[in-house]
Structures are given as structure tokens and as C-alpha cells.
Amino acid sequence: MTVTVTIPDVLAAALQRVQPALPQVLLDGFAVEAYREGILSAAEVRVLLGHESRWETEDFLAAHEAWPGSTAEEVAADGSRLQALLSR
């Protein structure tokens, strides 16, 4: 499927100056949000973005703080609770 996004000319030039790879940035952002919402699995993100390996996708998702089933804050809170339990 091909998706076309229309950006007003008045904004397009400024966006292209700041982010020359705008189409890829938009696709990456969509993939991250779809993964966070449970719409796409990591395997589907890999296919969508054309990653060579599962590990490339894992690195991509980690770089965007997209954790499966949990937010970064939830993982940090779990770590804090675990540390408190271990220090007893």
C-alpha cells in the first residue's frame, strides 16, 4: 500500500530543511506508536521498516523507548520496587 501525506507548501520547505528524511521519520514514528498501542508486533515493525534482523528492530524500539506491554515509567517503577525488596 502506498500512503500519501499532504503537507502545506508553507510548512514543507521548513520541515525538509530540519528533517531531510521526513518520509522515513514519519514511517518510524507510525511504527513506534502502532507498536506501543499493540497494533503491530515487533515482527510486523521489522517487516514495515525493512530491518535485516530481529535485533535491529529491538534496538530501534529500545531507542524510541517502546517497551512491550509496559511504559518506560512502569519498568522503572518495577525496578525500584524490586530494589526495595532486595535491600530488606
Q: Cα–Cα–Cα angle for 21, 69, 38, nearest 5°?
A: 60
Q: With 80 as the cut, is the pLDDT of residue 74 above it?
A: no
Residue 59 cell numbers, joined? 534496538
Give the residue numbers spanning the domain of 17. Answer: 9-86
Could you give the CA distance from residue 72 to residue 56 in angstroms, rounded to a whole number?
Answer: 19
What does the pLDDT read at residue 70? Answer: 67
pTM (2 d.p.): 0.71
Q: Which tens digits make up the pLDDT trace of 27-65?
A: 999 999 999 988 999 999 999 999 999 999 999 999 998
Is residue 2 in a domain? Answer: no
Phi and psi at 87, nearest 5°, equal -90, 0
What does the pLDDT read at residue 87? Answer: 87
Is residue 1 in a domain? Answer: no
Domain count, the chain: 1
Q: Are 46 and 57 in contact (CB under 8 A)?
A: yes
What is the mean pLDDT of the segment spanning 70-88?
84
Is residue 52 in a domain? Answer: yes
What is the mean pLDDT of the segment spanning 64-81?
81
Evaluate the CA torsion angle 9, 5, 62, 56 in order and state its sign.
negative
Judged by DSSP in three states, 46 sits in helix
